[in-house]
Amino acid sequence: MVQPLNRLKESASQTAGPYVHIGLTPNFCEIGGVYPEDLGTKMVNDKTKGERITVIGRVIDGTGTPLKDALIEIWQADADGLHNSPSETRGTADPNFVGWGRSPGNMDTGEFVFETIKPGRVPFKDGRLMAPHISFWIVARGINIGLNTRMYFGDEEKANEEDPILARIEHRVRVPTLIAPRDGNTYRFDIHLQGEKETVFFDS
Amino acid sequence: MNHANMTNKGPETGAFFQRDREWHPQAFTPWYKTSVTRSPQRALLSMDNTLSEITGPTFGHNILGEHDNDLLINFAKPGETAIGPRIIVYGRVLDERGMPVPNVLVEFWQANAGGRYRHKKEGYVAALDPNFGGCGRTITDENGFYNFRTIQPGPYPWPNGVNDWRPAHIHFSVFGHGFAQRLITQMYFEGDPMIDLCPIVKTINDPEAIRGLTAALDMQATIPMDSRAYKFDIVLRGRRSTLFENRLEGN
Ligand SMILES: [Fe+2]
């Protein structure tokens, strides 16, 4: 016999269900007066540093139907590539940018919209710079464990080419599922849960 | 060298333990019908955490209103309370190393005592409670403890099989210190015979993992003549020490 490791197991995930908006964006679904506002709806203010951008997209199921009961969260670095987090040890991030957003999607179209800034580059473990990206986390009815993915920027071709995470995608035809094309200041990032265009999801 | 890591006091910067994907539900669970068209079918891209996953947002106690963790009154008219069995739910947010996870946001939502949600798309005939909204939130203290007061939710039928019912449950959303720890789960109640019948519970294979989501009735923490107590600990991914890992130059 050996000494036990005495580790606990992570609590098992369960679906967010059809009423996740009650818990996480109650004002959005007409439960007013409990919280002054829903968390994560406003990411930038007048003093936030960086290029203003809009990220728009939908979460689309295997039949091609956009989800209207999903909840999408994003997490990103500031314009200088620093995260507003105690675990960030390289410097102090922009105090006017939290870097986290949450969207319930549009009630009729399912489209999510994030008004944010373009993040700077963040180093990989070995010091190489990753391409600018935004981390996504998607939960909904029918999704048993939250899905993780990243959005990269269509106008960052060179950075994307040398990104160590994108480089690990074996089937190169799937790389474009993570790259959002730019139109003006708007990036469109549709997330496909299944099918030909299934988004690359991460186990990270 | 980040001194904080040496003393175990400051923020930690290590990567999180790999998720045990066999312990968690699989994506494709056809007896839970909605999962059929919403489950990714290709292999996930595995990667060790980068700074984007190791870091995560923090929430200050300043966002909390006085009654955010009291669902009995946070939606009720002045002087009134929600109807149903009064309970206190308390516990700790821990990580897989057994360490407390302090200062993290915990959000919860649930049906009322009749099993009815306050939501447009809800079709169950059970009555709405005018004094019950169904959402609450709190932030763990320095030892990872949280608590809130509510009513015990009722079981409810849902469109899946012809006669499927959810056991009484409370939904939980939990942040850790890194975005990779983000978790949504559900809490069930000790002794509920509906747990073993539920297609959503059955997305989990290991009975031990289901026990881990089942809150224990705690008569010691119960307030006599007032509210029963249920204990529900939540475990998030643990993280590695960074002491012997390669560091970026200058760190
Ligand atoms: Fe529910």
Domain parsing of chain A, residue ranges: 20-192
The answer to whether residue B6 scores a pLDDT higher than 70 is no
pLDDT at B122: 87
- Percent of chain B whose pLDDT exceeds 70: 92
Question: Helix/strand/coil (H, E, C) string of A149-192?
Answer: EEEEECCCHHHHHCCCCHHHCCCHHHHHHHEECEECCEEECCEE
Task: Domain B67-223: state its class.
Answer: mainly beta
Question: Helix/strand/coil (H, E, C) string of chain B?
Answer: CCHHHHHCCCCCCCCECCCCCCCCCCCCCCCCCCHHHHCCCCCCEECCCCHHHHCCCCCCHHHCCCCCCECCCCCCCCCCCCCCCEEEEEEEEEECCCCECCCCEEEEECCCCCCCCCCCCCCCCCCCCCCCCCEEEEECCCCCEEEEEEECCCCEEECCCCCEEECCEEEEEECCCCHHHCEEEEEEECCCCCHHHCCCHHHCCCHHHHHCCEEEECCCCCECCCEEEEECCEEECCECCCCCCCCCCCC
Cα B156 to middle of ligand 1, angstroms: 8
Question: Residue B227's closest CA among B118, B32, B72?
Answer: B72
Give per-residue pLDDT as tens, B128-183.
999 999 999 999 999 999 999 999 999 999 999 999 999 999 999 999 999 999 99
Please indicate whether, in this complex, the C-beta atoms of B57 and A100 are within 8 angstroms of each other.
Answer: yes
If pLDDT is split at 50, 70 and 90, which confidence band does B7 have? very low
pLDDT at B251: 43
Q: Which two tokens stand for residue B216?
A: 């224990």
Catalytic positions of B: 117, 156, 166, 169, 171
pTM of the model: 0.96
Q: Measured between CB atoms, does A140 come within 8 Å of chain B?
A: yes
Give per-residue pLDDT as tens, B65-89.
999 999 999 999 999 999 999 999 9
The answer to whether residue B249 scores a pLDDT higher than 70 is no
Q: Are B171 and A23 contacting, i.e. CB atoms less than 8 angstroms apart?
A: yes
Q: Measured between CB atoms, does A193 come within 8 Å of chain B?
A: yes
| CB-closest option in B11, B171, B213 to A16 | B171
Please indicate whether, in this complex, the C-beta atoms of A62 and B236 are within 8 angstroms of each other.
Answer: no
* CATH code linked to domain A20-192: 2.60.130.10
Q: Are A93 and A151 contacting, i.e. CB atoms less than 8 angstroms apart?
A: no
Give per-residue pLDDT as tens, A31-75.
999 999 999 999 999 999 999 999 999 999 999 999 999 999 999
The answer to whether residue B124 scores a pLDDT higher than 90 is yes
Cα A17 to middle of ligand 1, angstroms: 6
| CB-closest option in B24, B29, B135 to A12 | B24
Residues of A in contact with B251 (CB under 8 A): 89-90
Please indicate whether, in this complex, the C-beta atoms of B53 and A204 are within 8 angstroms of each other.
Answer: yes
ipTM over 0.85: yes
